[in-house]
Structure 1
C-alpha cells in the first residue's frame, strides 16, 4: 500500500533543488517540492502538502490534512511511518 502523509511546509531549504522542510506531526523532514512547484517556492511555506517517499505530491487544505491525519491515526497506519521518520531524524542528529 502506498501511503501519503500530510505535512506542513515550514521552510525552503534549497531553492535551487526545490527542497523544503516539512513538519509531519512534529517530525521535520526535508522533501522535494518539484511536483508542486507551480508557484514561487516561498508561496508554499505554510501550505499543507501530501508527502509520499520524500516528494510533496499535492497541495491540500488544512482541513483535508487534519482529516487525513486523524483517519490514519485511527487506522494505526500513520504511526509506523511517523516512528520511522523520527528514527531517521534521530540517526541524522547523532552523526
Structure 2
C-alpha cells in the first residue's frame, strides 16, 4: 500500500528542492513536479516528491484523520 500525505512547505531550496513540515517533522523533498510553489503552501508528498498542491483546510483534515487513526491503532495494540 502506498501513502501520500500532506505537508507544509517551510523553505524553498535550490535545484527544485524544498523543506516541508509534517506535524513538526522536517523533510527535504523534490518539488520538480510543481510550478509556482511558495512557503506556506501545502503539498501532497509521496516517496520524497511533492505531487500536487492541496488546500490548507483539506491538508489539516487529512492530518487530523491520520492522527486519529494512529491513536485508535495504538489503543488496539495495547
TM-score, L = length of structure 1 = 0.69
Higher strand proportion (structure 1 or 2): 2
Runs of 4+ aligned residues of structure 1 deviating over 2 Å after TM superposition are: none
SS in 2 for 1:57: strand
2:76 maps to: none
Distance across 2 between alignment mates of 1:35 and 1:44? 14
Match of 2:47 in 1: 53
1:31 to 29, 53, 66: 29
Give, in angstroms, the shift of residue 71 of structure 1.
Answer: 1.1
Query: Which residue among 59, 62, 65 is the counterpart of 1:68?
Result: 62
Distance 2:49 2:30 in 1: 5
- TM-score (structure 2 length as normaliser): 0.82
**Secondary structure in structure 2 of the residue aligned to 1:34:** coil
How far the C-alpha of 1:19 sits from its partner, in A, is 0.1
Q: Secondary structure at the match of 1:75?
A: helix
Alignment length, in residue pairs? 71
